[in-house]
A and B are shown apart, each in its own frame.
Chain A
Amino acid sequence: MEKQVILNAKQIELTIKRLCHELIESHDDFKNSVIIGLQPRGIQVVGRLKLELESILGHSIQCGNLDITFFRDDFRRTEKQLLPSVTNLDFSIENKKVVLVDDVLYTGRTIRAGLDALLTFGRPSKVELLVLIDRRFSRDLPIQADYYGKTVDTLKMERVSVDWSEIEGIDQVLLYTKAGNE
């Protein structure tokens, strides 16, 4: 596998800033909006968004984590046991505008599970989707993002990985491609 940096730390920072301004355009001061990250890798994106939004808006906004393990459609269909992460939603989503957040949008199956999981907590007035990376033309389900950081065209055998300084030690988005397959 050859790897190629598609976003570096500086570009990620700029992208997050842009996404925050786009969010403010449609959510105003976030008084009736909440941001929910999908476990396990959406929550880092939420962390960055929250930091930036709060510094722009000057007040705190409600953020949570949502685990989708029990709503996945591949239970008993993969070799690996599906193990859950923590769900942390200490507020009501009833009649709120919810922004679901994940790092990479690929087949759309995770988002489908995320929507089902979300609705067990109540009835939001609106749900939107924000992703850092959109792997275009590879959807299994009719799901698209409302906000996206960067769009990439990828093949099925390729892999996109988003690294964070708090976990991997560096902020970067990598595209792994098969050697010789440009």
Chain B
Amino acid sequence: MNNLSVDHLTGIRDLNHDDIQLIFKMADSFKDVINRPIKKVPSLRDITIANLFFENSTRTRLSFELAEKRLSADIINFSASSSSVKKGETLIDTVNNILSMKVDMVVMRHPNPGAAHFLSQRISAKVINAGDGTHEHPTQALLDAYSIREALGEVEGKKVVIVGDILHSRVALSNIYCLQKLGAEVMVCGPTTLIPKYIADLGIKISHNLKDALQWCDVANMLRIQLERQEINFFPSLREYSMLFGLNKPLLDSLDKRIVIMHPGPINRGVEITSEVADSDQSIILNQVENGVAIRMAIIYLLASKIER
């Protein structure tokens, strides 16, 4: 397998096992590149990439921007808060206007599920989904799996629990697809109200007891409570959530094994995870961020190689 089976990265669901392994192999090389004195390669110097962020982001946006710059691509940035979207322009009109400026690739975050897929079917540029509402966040899932592979040697056969707000999380859905394609076992853990009703149909385990879930797993991925997506209260209070589903040091020490702690960020310290745990040597949170740049370079490089000259 020498190339991706897809022309756009709209979700992990469209990728196969070989695609993911190819992305990891490329990311290994790019991780080497970003640790050199000069962290830049000239591969994409004739490519222009537009970063369209219709929703707020710090980490993902910076990570994409850095990945693009490391590959020598020209980039333009766009955020909804400072644009004509506020004046009533449609998504297609906005994007087509940007594409008229000869853009080869679009990285898009959008609040509506399916926005990246919608766009990929209507424009000629390559599309990378940087998060579409509560649907998918493929690059995050890939960097999470890559970080697990780095910490534990391989992903196959490992047990991963995703804890927290599964209902509103695109990270959870993409992670489930990605980990399953790589042969890992997945469990989700959280209050009943934050676990989607039919999620067991994806072939995963469900737990409502954090201690049991942690005892089962090799890796715990702690998600943030997405208060901005919650219009009603899904649990009585943050304090109660934290007591039942927050990861703290005494709980971690009570396990009879050593597990790896992950968090996609941004962290709400003291809610889903305490500072002591987030900053401990079991946590690979900052490795995830470093790997994010390498993974995004790999994806951009592989998709760019499919752009017609």
Binding site for B on A (CB under 8 A): 67, 69-72, 75-77, 80-84, 86-87, 116, 119-122
Asked if residues B37 and A121 are in contact (CB atoms below 8 Å), the reply is: yes
Asked if residues A83 and B25 are in contact (CB atoms below 8 Å), the reply is: yes
Closest to A70 in B: B41
Closest to B306 in A: A76
Note all chain B residues with C-beta closer than 8 A to A72: 43
CB distance from A14 to the nearest CB of B (A): 36
How would you classify the secondary structure of chain A's contact residues: helix, strand, loop or mixed? loop
Binding site for A on B (CB under 8 A): 2-3, 25-26, 29, 32-33, 36-44, 46, 71, 301-302, 304-305, 307, 309
Asked if residues A67 and B29 are in contact (CB atoms below 8 Å), the reply is: yes
Q: Which residue among B32, B41, B44, B301 has the maximum number of chain A CB atoms within 10 Å of its CB?
A: B41
21 sample A-B contacts, Cβ–Cβ < 8 Å, listed by A number: A67-B29, A69-B29, A70-B42, A71-B41, A71-B42, A71-B43, A75-B43, A75-B304, A75-B305, A76-B46, A76-B304, A77-B309, A81-B2, A82-B305, A83-B25, A83-B26, A87-B29, A116-B42, A120-B36, A120-B39, A121-B36
Asked if residues B304 and A84 are in contact (CB atoms below 8 Å), the reply is: no
The A-B contact count (CB < 8 A) is 50
- In the A-B complex, list the 9 residue pairs whose CB atoms are closest, starting with the nearest: A70-B41, A120-B38, A84-B29, A81-B2, A81-B3, A70-B43, A75-B43, A120-B36, A87-B32
Q: Which residue among B37, B38, B46 has the maximum number of chain A CB atoms within 10 Å of its CB?
A: B37
CB distance from B128 to the nearest CB of A (A): 17
Closest to B2 in A: A81
Note all chain B residues with C-beta closer than 8 A to A87: 29, 32
CB distance from A67 to the nearest CB of B (A): 7
Q: Kindly state the separation between the CA atoms of A67 and B42 in the bound complex, as whole angstroms.
A: 14
Note all chain B residues with C-beta closer than 8 A to A119: 38
Q: Kindly state the separation between the CA atoms of A81 and B304 in the bound complex, as whole angstroms.
A: 11
Note all chain B residues with C-beta closer than 8 A to A81: 2-3, 302, 305
Closest to A116 in B: B42
CB distance from A68 to the nearest CB of B (A): 10
Closest to B70 in A: A70
CB distance from A115 to the nearest CB of B (A): 12
Q: Kindly state the separation between the CA atoms of A64 and B302 in the bound complex, as whole angstroms.
A: 27
CB distance from A23 to the nearest CB of B (A): 26
Q: Kindly state the separation between the CA atoms of A71 and B38 in the bound complex, as whole angstroms.
A: 13
Note all chain B residues with C-beta closer than 8 A to A122: 37
Note all chain A residues with C-beta closer than 8 A to B44: 75
